[in-house]
């Protein structure tokens, strides 16, 4: 295995050790990093979403900022402001948190649309315009946003066009009962370390540290992962089927065609390609299998499908539709 491969495997292990019973989340954070994409993590409060991103930040050579999204936040609280300096009677730009390399946009759906789009535009453009000046964002640049799925008063759903900007939407669920004991033990141990002000970083964490050269190298290596024409065709057909399910003859296909109001854009195809490669690379393979594509299909597609009213009224979710899609589209 290459040095980058070893480092990323340690990173996933360190994250999985620190966020118990959520191996899926650890792997997705690594895939996001490798694919140079942004993540939206959805889950109930208290499932260690914030914790996972803070730990990721500690493993990277990246400036980190957490922004708690609240109803009173302003777009300039994200992007920055020009401040007048009377001494030299000129404006000086005070960069906002978006100028960090890893940004935790915590509870993104608690801030109004204007604030959300200030962040999402910056993510899309890799730059910010304030006044007459355009400022480039740093590199690497990754946004991890979290949101609470429970419908609360005073939350603002991200618009579809903005959801599409996220490479992956990862769903975090309650850890199994057997993991609650381990979480409890870890929390006690950490508190003890904190009281003794012991060094929290273990050897494993030190090994998992990824500097920017290693990250670049890892990204290059994932580009070299081979995708056969058959797997590529499968990947493309999966995404295309979200737009034209009715060409498939089965009953499932006919129902699905009526369930999807808007299918996934080419951004979904690109996302699935990048993520499937990253997964293969993380598993020390130099080729993508249909299994890689299937494993990422839900996280790449769920936030990009708009379901019809009829599907919604029957309680169908994007995940149900993607399950059907996977059973319908033939592999290679
Ligand atoms: N899977 C887990 N592994 C380790 N600690 C956990 C886990 N789930 C919850 N915790 C504990 O619960 C706390 C709440 O986590 P937090 O990151 O604030 O949740 P969220 O951001 O999802 O609301 C964490 O600091 C941690 O002590
Ligand atoms: Mg949180």
- Whole-angstrom distance, CA of residue 185 vs CA of residue 180: 9
Q: What is the pLDDT of residue 253?
A: 87
DSSP string over 150-170: S--TT--PPPHHHHTT-SEEE
Residues 257 and 174 occupy one common structural domain: no
The ligand with the least distance to the CA atom of 47 is 1
Calculated CA dihedral for residues 257, 263, 269, 274, nearest 10 degrees? -110
**In terms of residue numbers, what domain contains 52?**
3-219
Kindly tell me if the per-residue pLDDT of 13 is higher than 90.
yes
Q: Is 0.85 topped by the overall pTM?
A: yes
pLDDT tens by residue, 23-50: 999 999 999 999 999 999 999 989 999 9
The per-residue pLDDT of the chain, averaged, comes to: 91
290's tokens: 């249909």
The confidence score (pLDDT) of residue 196 equals: 67
15, 20, 39, 46: which to mutate for ligand 1, most atoms within 8 A of CB?
Answer: 46
**Nearest Cα residue to atom 11 of ligand 1:** 48
Binding pocket residue ranges, ligand 1, CB within 6 Å:
19-22, 43, 45-51, 175, 183, 186-187
Q: Rounded to the nearest whole angstrom, what is the distance from the C-alpha of residue 48 to the centroid of ligand 2?
A: 7
Instruction: Tell which of 219, 239, 264 closes a domain.
Output: 219
Q: Based on the fold, state whether residues 134 and 262 are members of the same structural domain.
A: no
* Atom nearest to 106 CA in ligand 1: 21
Of 168, 200, 219, the residue that ends a domain is 219
What pLDDT digit, counting tens, does each position of 95-151 carry? Answer: 999 999 999 999 999 999 999 999 999 999 999 988 888 999 999 999 999 998 866
| pLDDT tens sequence across 262-294 | 999 999 999 999 999 999 999 999 999 999 999
Q: What is the CATH number of the domain that holds 33?
A: 3.40.50.300
Which pLDDT score, from 0 to 100, does residue 257 have? 87
Q: Domain check: are 123 and 16 in the same one? A: yes
> Does one domain contain both 194 and 316?
no
Query: How many structural domains comprise the chain?
Result: 2
If asked whether residues 69 and 156 sit together in one domain, one would say yes
User: In this structure, are 274 and 237 located in the same domain?
Assistant: yes
Regarding whether 96 and 63 lie in a shared domain, the answer is yes
Domain boundary among 172, 189, 219: 219
Structure tokens at 166: 């996220």
What does R_g of the chain's alpha carbons equal in angstroms? 21
CB 156 within 8 A of CB 148: no
Share of the chain above pLDDT 90, in %: 75
User: 321: domain CATH number?
Assistant: 1.10.8.80
Distance 183 CA to ligand 1 centre (A): 9
């Amino acid at each position: 295995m290459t040095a980058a491969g070893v480092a990323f495997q340690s990173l996933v292990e360190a994250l999985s050790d620190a966020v118990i019973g959520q191996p899926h989340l650890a792997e997705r954070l690594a895939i996001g990093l490798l694919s140079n994409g942004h993540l939206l993590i959805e889950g109930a409060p208290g499932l260690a979403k914030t914790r996972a991103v803070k730990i990721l930040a500690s493993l990277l050579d990246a400036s980190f900022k957490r922004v708690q999204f609240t109803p009173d936040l302003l777009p300039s609280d994200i992007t920055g402001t020009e401040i007048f300096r009377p001494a030299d009677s000129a404006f000086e730009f005070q960069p906002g948190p978006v100028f960090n390399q890893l940004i935790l946009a915590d509870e993104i759906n608690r801030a109004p649309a204007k604030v959300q789009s200030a962040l999402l535009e910056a993510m899309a453009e890799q730059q910010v315009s304030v006044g007459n000046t355009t400022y480039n964002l740093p590199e690497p640049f990754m946004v991890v946003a979290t949101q609470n799925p429970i419908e609360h008063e005073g939350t603002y759903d991200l618009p579809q066009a903005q959801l599409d900007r996220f490479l992956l939407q990862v769903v975090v669920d309650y850890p199994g009962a057997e993991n609650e004991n381990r979480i409890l033990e870890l929390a006690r141990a950490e508190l003890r370390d904190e009281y003794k002000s012991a060094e929290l970083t273990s050897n494993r964490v030190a090994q998992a540290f990824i500097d920017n050269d290693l990250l670049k190298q890892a990204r290059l290596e994932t580009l070299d992962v081979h995708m056969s024409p058959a797997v590529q065709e499968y990947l493309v057909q999966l995404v295309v089927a979200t737009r034209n399910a009715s060409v498939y003859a089965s009953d499932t296909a006919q129902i699905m065609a009526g369930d999807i109001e808007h299918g996934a854009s080419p951004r979904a195809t690109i996302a699935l390609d990048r993520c499937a490669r990253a997964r293969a690379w993380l598993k020390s393979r130099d080729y993508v299998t249909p299994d890689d594509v299937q494993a990422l299909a839900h996280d790449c597609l769920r936030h990009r499908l708009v379901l019809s009213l009829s599907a919604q009224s029957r309680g169908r979710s994007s995940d149900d539709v993607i399950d059907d899609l996977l059973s319908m589209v033939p592999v290679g």
